[in-house]
A and B are shown apart, each in its own frame.
Chain A
Amino acid sequence: MIKLSGYETAAHDHLDVTFAALADPTRRAILARLARGEASVMELAEPFAMTQPAISKHLKVLERAGLVSRGRDAQRRPCHLEARPLRDATEWLEGYRRFWSESFERLDGLIDELKSMGERDMTASDEQPGGRP
C-alpha cells in the first residue's frame, strides 16, 4: 500500500536525521557510490579531493543516520549502504508529491462539475466567476 506520508509525520524524528545526513553533496555521493557495492574508506576517499579523516567524518554522520553500516573486518571495515532509512525518506517525499497531485486531480473533477452547474450557486460573492469580457 502506498504511504502518503507528506502529512503523516509519525516517523518525523528519524526522517529529520536522515534528511540532515542527505543535505550534504559529499554524503550523497558516498551513498551513490555505495549503491554500487561495498567499499572501504580508502576506496571512498579516492574520487573526492578529501582526506580519509574527512571522509570518515561524513561516514560517521551517515552511520548515525543508519544509512551506512561498517563491516567487522578489522583491517578494511567495508561500508555498506543501508536501504531502510533511504526508502522511508523517499516514501515521505513521494507521498507529499502524490498527496497534492491526487488532490488536485480530484479538484479538477469538482471544478468541471461546478462549471457545468453554472457556478451561480457557488458563491455569495460580488464577482461573476464566468463573466470575463
Chain B
Amino acid sequence: MNNSGTMTVTAPTECEIVLTRVFDAPRRLVFDAWTKPELLRRWFGPHGYQLVVCDVDLRVGGTWRYVLCRPDGTEIHLHGVHREIAAPERLTRTEANDYCDAEAGEESLTTIVLVERDNRTTLTSTMRYPSKQIRDAMINFGAESGIAESYDRLTEVLAALVRTVAQ
C-alpha cells in the first residue's frame, strides 16, 4: 500500500545506530507527537505499555522524564536533557535510564530529523552510544533486515546459531 511502516536500522559510523521510518503525516504533526506529553502518552512504548509520567521541558537545557509502565506493573525510568530544538525538523537530547546512572558515560545522545515530502515525513533518529561494543553487537547480530549487505552473511550465521540455541 505505502511504505510507511517499514523501519530500517543502519550504522553509518562507529558508535551510531540510525532508525528511519516514514509516517503518513506532515512533519509538524510528527514533531508534536514526539514532544507533546499529551500525544507522547498515546504512542510511546510497545503495545500494552503505558507512559504514566511524561514531563517535557522543551527548551535547550530543559529536562525530560518518562516513566513507562510495563503490563506487569513494573516501571522503566527514562530521562535526559534537551540539547537542540529546531521545530519542526530537528531535536537533540540526551537519554539515560535509571539502571545506567551508576555507570558514568552510559547516557546516549539522540537526534531526530524530520524531512517532509508530499505530506509524508521521514523520521531519522540517530542514537549515539558511548559503547561501541553494544552498537557493534547490535549490527553484527543482524536483528533487523534493513542493514548493510556486508552483514548479511553474519546474519545468516547468527540466525542459525540463535535457532539452535533457542531449542
Q: Does B46 contact A87, Cβ atoms closer than 8 Å?
A: no
Known: A104-B7, A110-B43. Is A22-B137 also a contact (CB below 8 A)? yes
Q: Which of B43, B99, B137, B141 contacts A103 (CB 8 A)?
A: B43
> Which stretch (A43-51, A52-60, A120-128) binds chain B?
A120-128
- CB within 8 Å of A: which B119-167 residues: 119, 131, 133-134, 136-138, 140-141, 143-144, 154, 157-158, 160-162, 164-166
Q: Does A81 contact B7, Cβ atoms closer than 8 Å?
A: no
Q: Which of B4, B26, B154 contacts A130 (CB 8 A)?
A: B26
Say yes or no: is A41 at the interface (Cβ < 8 Å to chain B): no
Q: Does B43 contact A35, Cβ atoms closer than 8 Å?
A: no
Residues on B with C-beta less than 8 A from A35 are 160-161, 164-165
Known: A19-B133, A123-B28. Is A107-B161 also a contact (CB below 8 A)? no
Say yes or no: is B73 at the interface (Cβ < 8 Å to chain A): no
Q: How near does chain B come to A30, taking the closest CB pair, in angstroms?
A: 11
Which of A100, A107, A110: most chain B CB closer than 10 A? A107
For B167, the closest partner residue in chain A by CB is: A83
Q: Determine the distance from Cα of A7 to Cα of B122 in the docked complex, in whole angstroms.
A: 23
Q: Determine the distance from Cα of A25 to Cα of B143 in the docked complex, in whole angstroms.
A: 17
Q: Does B76 contact A90, Cβ atoms closer than 8 Å?
A: no
Q: Which of A7, A106, A122 contacts B68 (CB 8 A)?
A: A7
Q: Determine the distance from Cα of A42 to Cα of B61 in the docked complex, in whole angstroms.
A: 58
For B74, the closest partner residue in chain A by CB is: A8
Q: Determine the distance from Cα of A4 to Cα of B78 in the docked complex, in whole angstroms.
A: 14
Say yes or no: is B100 at the interface (Cβ < 8 Å to chain A): yes
Q: Determine the distance from Cα of A89 to Cα of B143 in the docked complex, in whole angstroms.
A: 11
Q: Does A107 contact B23, Cβ atoms closer than 8 Å?
A: yes
Say yes or no: is B58 at the interface (Cβ < 8 Å to chain A): no
Q: How near does chain B come to A76, taking the closest CB pair, in angstroms?
A: 22
Q: Does B4 contact A108, Cβ atoms closer than 8 Å?
A: yes
Known: A83-B165, A110-B33. Is A125-B100 also a contact (CB below 8 A)? no
Q: Does A114 contact B7, Cβ atoms closer than 8 Å?
A: no
Q: How near does chain B come to A80, taking the closest CB pair, in angstroms?
A: 12
Q: How near does chain A come to B63, taking the closest CB pair, in angstroms?
A: 17
Say yes or no: is A10 at the interface (Cβ < 8 Å to chain B): yes
Q: Does B87 contact A125, Cβ atoms closer than 8 Å?
A: yes
Residues of A in contact with B (beta carbons under 8 Å apart): 1, 4, 7-10, 12, 15-16, 18-20, 22-23, 25, 28-29, 31-32, 35-36, 81, 83, 86-87, 89-90, 93-94, 96-112, 114-115, 119, 122-123, 125, 127, 129-130, 132
| 6 A-B pairs with C-beta separation under 8 A | A19-B137, A23-B133, A25-B154, A108-B24, A125-B28, A132-B26
